[in-house]
C-alpha cells in the first residue's frame, strides 16, 4: 500500500546544512523525566519514535555544565566526557531506523536552581532563581562569558563524538541564559552584551558561530528561539524584537526551530488553545531566511500538517505531544491508516511527568515511558497464550483499553456497559467546557475495537453477579468506575461535612448527568485538578453566580504540573468567579455555608443556593466483591478489578490500568518488581 499522493510532500527529504532529514516529521526536543538517570529507557523511547517514522528525533534539554544543574528535574547531561556513552545510546537507537538525532544543549541561567551542584548560577545580572527557590544568580562577567562559550563549544564537540547530527543553540521558553541575554527586563548591562538589541543578541550569535566552527562540518546547527512571549511591550513580540532577532541571524544557523514563550504558552492545553494556534506568531520566519524552519502546533491530522507546508509556514512538522501520543503517526500516514492515528488530546499529562521528575506518561498512549522498563511497544503486543473468552464489564477508559488490548492479542472479548454510550467518565467529562478533545480517548478505542471480529460490544447491558455467572464466562475483568462522594470526605475533610445530606448539596456527577442550577453556587474543590474549574465555567454558562473555595494555596493547584494553572485562574477571574483559597467547609446550612481558613481559623459565611462538593470518589467495586466468592469456589478462573473501580485516579491511569491488565492476562507475574530498573553497578 502506498500513501495518498497528496501527502507525498510530507515524506520528501529536506537538507539541514550538512545532513539530510529523510522526511518532514520532526520530533522537537521534549522533556521526559528520564534523562541522565534512565539512559536506557530514554534511548528506547526515542528509538520507538524513529521506528515509527519520525525523520528527526531530538533529546530533551541537555545541561552542558554543572553550574547549570536543573535539579530536581531530570534532564539530559553532558557535563564531561563520561556523559557521552549514555547519550550515544540514544543516538545509536535513533540511527537504527535512519532518522537524524538532535541534541538541545542548554545553560539555564536563573532557571537552573543548582540544588545538586550547589554552585552559583550565572545571569546577565544577579537575579532571583525561578521556581520560588531562595537564592540568586551571580552577575556574569567577561571571563564568565569566555568560559561559557568554551563550555558550550566543548559540549558541542562531545555531542558530535556521541554521534548527534543536529546540535541546538537554545534560546526559548525563558529557560536559558541565551534567551535571558535577549530580554531587556533581565539584561541591564551597559557593556557590549547589553543595551541595544544587537548587543543583547551578541551572546547567542557567538554561541552559534562557536558551534558551527566546532562541529559544523558534519553536524547541522539549529537555533530554538521564542519569537513571542505573549507579554506585549514587556517582552519579545513577533512584530518587534522577535522579528528583528531572526532578521539579524537569518542565515547563520542551519535550521530555525521557532515557538512562543514560556513553556505553558508553547505547550498550552487543548482547553485553552487549538491545533495550530502558534501560526499567527511564527508565520513570518520563512520570509526572512532561506534555511529550513520547524514549528509546532500540536498538529494531529495529516491535512493540518500538509497545509503548514503548502502555506509556507514551515518546512518541518514539529511535534512533541503528538509524537508522544502516537510514535507511529508518520508511518500511519504513509500507509494510509489515518483512522489508526492515536491523536493527542492536549491534556499535558506528559508535561506533568517532567515537572514531577518521573518517567513520561500519556493519557492516549499507555506504553509511553514503558518501552524499556516493561518492554512495551505501542503497536505490537504478545499474542494470546490459549483460546479463551473474556468478559469486560464497564466501557470507560479502563474497560475500553483492556478490551482493545485483549482483542489485539487475539482473545474472544465481550465488552458491555450498563449505559447506552460507551466511554464512562470520559463521555461525561468531554462534554464539559474546553474538554471536547478528550473524547478522542473513547473514539480511537471504539474505532480500533470495531475493526476486530473477536471483540463484541454490548451497550445498555447492566449485569449482576448472578447474571455473569449464569452466562458462563469464567474470565472476568471489572472496570465499573467510581462516583463522586456526597459527604465531602476528601484530602482535607476527614469526616462528612455537617449539612452535606441537605438536598441542595450536589456532586460533579449530578451536573454531568444534566442537573441544571440557578442562583449563587459554591464549588468546594478538594480535588485540585480540572474538575472544579470546568464546573465553574459550566455554571457560569448556565447563568449562575459562582464562588469556588479550596483548601489549597492556589486554584486548581495540581494543574500547575500540566502547565495550565495560570490559564485556569485567569479564565475564572475573567468570568468573575469569586475565588477563596485555603478554606474548608465548616457547615452547610439552608441558604448559607460557613467556611473556615485553614491557617488562621477565621470563619466567613456565604449566602448561596447550592453547593457542589468536588472531593474524593468512591470505587464502584461492589460487583467485584460479589464475584470474589465465585473465584474462591472455582466457578471463575480469573477475576480482576481495574481503573477507577480499583483506585480512582486520573484518566491516564485508568487507561494504563486497562492496558496493563490486557498485557498481563495469562502472563506469569513474578514476585519481584514487575519492571526493569536502571541501577548503578557496584
| pLDDT tens figures, 308-355 | 999 999 999 999 999 999 999 999 999 999 999 999 999 999 999 999
170 is catalytic: yes
* DSSP per residue, 35-55: GGG-HHHHHHHHHHHHHTT-S
Of 69, 83, 266, 621, the active-site residue reads 266
Per the listing, cell 505573549 goes with: 230
Q: What is the mean pLDDT of the chain?
A: 96
* Tens of pLDDT, residues 172-182: 999 999 999 99
Query: What cell does 402 get?
Result: 483492556
> Average pLDDT in the 657-675 region?
91
Q: Which CATH architecture has domain 485-617?
A: 3-Layer(bba) Sandwich (3.50)
What is the CATH class of 389-481+620-664? alpha beta
Does residue 1 carry a pLDDT above 50? no
Report the distance separating Cα 399 and Cα 455, nearest Å.
Answer: 12
- Please, which pLDDT band fits residue 436 given cuts at 50, 70 and 90? very high
Tallying the residues shown for the chain, one arrives at 682
Bridge-based pairing of strands 166-171 and 293-295 is unpaired
How many whole angstroms separate alpha carbon 619 and alpha carbon 479? 10
- Residue-range domain boundaries for the chain: 5-356, 389-481+620-664, 485-617
Given a cut of 90, whether residue 82 has pLDDT beyond it is yes
Q: State residue 682's pLDDT score.
A: 84
If pLDDT is split at 50, 70 and 90, which confidence band does 636 have? very high
**Which one of the listed residues 30, 42, 152, 173 is annotated catalytic?**
173
Split at pLDDT 50, 70, 90, the class of 130 is confident
As a whole number of angstroms, the distance between CA 594 and CA 588 comes to 6
Active-site entry in 26, 170, 193, 530? 170
Q: What does pTM read for this prediction?
A: 0.96
Residues 5-356: name the CATH superfamily. Answer: Aldolase class I (3.20.20.70)
Burial of 299 (0-12, 13-18, 19+ CB in 10 A): buried
The residue annotated as part of the active site, out of 26, 31, 111, 402, is 31
Q: What is the mean pLDDT of residues 281-305?
A: 96
pLDDT at 2: 57
Q: What percent of the chain has pLDDT over 70?
A: 99
Amino acid at each position: 500500500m502506498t500513501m495518498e499522493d497528496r501527502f507525498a510532500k510530507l515524506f520528501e527529504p529536506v537538507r539541514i546544512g550538512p545532513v539530510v532529514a529523510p522526511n518532514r516529521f520532526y520530533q522537537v526536543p521534549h522533556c521526559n523525566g528520564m534523562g541522565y538517570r534512565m539512559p536506557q529507557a530514554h534511548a528506547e523511547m526515542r528509538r520507538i519514535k524513529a521506528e515509527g517514522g519520525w525523520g528527526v528525533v531530538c533529546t530533551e534539554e541537555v545541561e552542558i555544565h554543572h553550574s547549570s544543574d536543573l535539579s530536581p528535574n531530570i534532564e539530559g547531561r553532558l557535563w564531561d566526557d563520561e556523559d557521552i556513552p549514555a547519550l550515544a545510546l540514544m543516538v545509536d537507537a535513533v540511527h537504527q531506523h535512519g532518522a537524524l538525532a538532535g541534541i538541545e544543549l542548554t545553560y539555564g541561567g536563573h532557571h537552573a536552581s543548582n540544588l545538586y551542584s550547589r554552585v552559583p548560577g550565572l545571569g546577565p545580572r544577579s537575579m532571583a532563581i525561578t521556581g520560588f527557590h531562595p537564592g540568586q544568580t551571580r552577575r556574569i562577567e567577561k571571563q564568565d562569558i569566555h568560559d561559557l562559550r568554551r563550555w558550550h563549544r566543548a559540549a558541542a564537540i562531545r555531542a558530535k563524538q556521541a554521534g548527534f547530527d543536529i546540535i541546538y543553540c537554545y534560546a526559548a521558553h525563558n529557560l536559558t541564559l541565551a534567551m535571558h541575554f535577549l530580554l531587556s527586563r533581565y539584561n541591564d548591562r551597559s557593556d557590549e552584551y547589553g543595551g541595544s538589541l544587537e548587543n543583547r543578541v551578541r551572546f547567542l550569535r557567538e554561541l552559534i558561530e562557536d558551534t558551527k566552527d566546532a562541529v559544523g562540518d558534519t553536524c547541522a546547527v539549529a537555533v530554538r528561539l521564542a519569537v513571542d512571549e505573549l507579554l506585549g511591550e514587556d517582552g519579545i513580540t513577533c512584530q518587534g524584537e522577535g522579528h528583528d532577532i531572526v532578521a539579524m541571524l537569518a542565515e547563520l544557523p542551519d535550521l530555525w526551530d521557532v515557538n512562543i514563550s514560556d513553556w505553558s504558552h508553547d505547550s498550552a492545553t487543548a482547553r485553552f488553545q487549538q491545533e495550530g494556534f502558534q501560526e499567527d506568531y511564527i508565520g513570518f520566519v520563512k520570509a526572512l531566511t532561506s534555511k529550513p524552519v520547524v514549528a509546532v502546533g500540536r498538529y494531529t491530522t495529516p491535512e493540518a500538517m500538509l497545509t503548514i507546508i503548502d502555506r509556507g509556514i514551515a518546512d518541518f512538522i514539529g511535534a512533541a505531544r503528538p509524537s508522544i501520543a502516537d510514535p507511529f503517526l508518520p508511518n500511519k500516514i504513509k500507509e494510509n491508516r489515518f483512522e489508526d492515528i492515536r491523536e493527542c488530546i492536549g491534556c499535558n499529562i506528559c508535561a506533568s511527568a517532567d515537572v514531577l521528575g518521573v518517567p513520561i506518561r500519556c493519557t492516549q498512549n499507555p506504553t509511553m515511558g514503558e518501552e524499556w522498563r516493561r518492554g512495551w511497544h505501542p503497536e505490537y503486543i504478545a499474542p494470546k497464550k490459549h483460546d479463551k473468552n473474556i468478559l469486560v464489564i464497564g466501557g470507560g477508559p479502563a474497560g475500553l483499553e483492556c478490551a482493545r488490548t485483549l482483542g489485539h492479542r487475539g482473545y474472544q472479548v465481550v465488552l458491555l456497559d450498563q449505559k447506552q454510550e460507551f466511554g464512562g467518565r470520559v463521555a461525561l467529562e468531554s462534554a464539559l467546557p474546553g474538554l471536547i478533545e478528550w473524547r478522542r480517548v473513547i473514539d480511537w478505542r471504539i474505532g480500533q475495537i470495531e475493526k476486530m471480529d473477536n471483540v463484541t460490544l454490548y451497550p445498555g447491558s447492566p449485569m449482576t453477579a448472578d447474571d455473569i455467572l449464569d452466562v458462563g464466562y469464567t474470565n472476568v475483568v471489572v472496570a465499573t468506575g467510581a462516583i463522586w462522594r456526597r459527604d465531602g470526605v476528601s484530602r482535607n475533610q476527614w469526616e462528612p461535612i455537617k449539612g452535606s445530606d441537605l438536598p441542595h448539596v450536589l456532586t460533579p456527577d449530578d451536573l454531568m448527568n444534566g442537573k441544571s442550577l440557578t442562583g449563587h453556587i459554591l464549588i468546594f474543590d478538594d480535588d485540585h485538578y480540572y474538575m472544579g474549574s470546568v464546573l465553574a465555567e459550566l455554571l457560569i454558562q448556565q447563568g449562575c453566580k459562582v464562588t469556588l473555595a479550596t483548601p489549597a494555596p492556589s486554584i486548581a493547584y495540581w494543574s500547575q504540573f500540566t502547565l495550565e494553572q495560570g490559564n485556569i485562574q485567569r479564565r475564572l477571574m475573567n468570568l468573575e468567579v469569586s475565588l477563596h483559597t485555603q478554606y474548608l467547609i465548616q457547615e452547610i446550612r439552608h441558604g448559607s455555608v460557613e467556611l473556615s481558613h485553614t491557617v488562621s481559623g477565621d470563619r466567613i459565611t456565604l449566602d448561596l443556593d447550592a453547593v457542589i462538593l468536588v472531593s474524593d470518589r468512591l470505587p464502584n467495586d461492589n460487583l467485584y466483591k460479589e464475584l470474589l466468592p465465585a473465584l474462591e469456589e472455582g466457578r471463575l478462573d480469573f477475576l480482576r478489578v481495574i481503573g477507577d473501580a480499583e483506585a480512582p485516579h486520573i484518566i491516564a491511569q485508568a487507561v494504563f490500568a486497562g492496558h496493563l491488565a490486557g498485557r498481563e492476562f495469562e502472563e506469569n507475574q513474578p514476585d519481584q518488581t514487575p519492571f526493569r530498573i536502571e541501577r548503578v553497578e557496584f
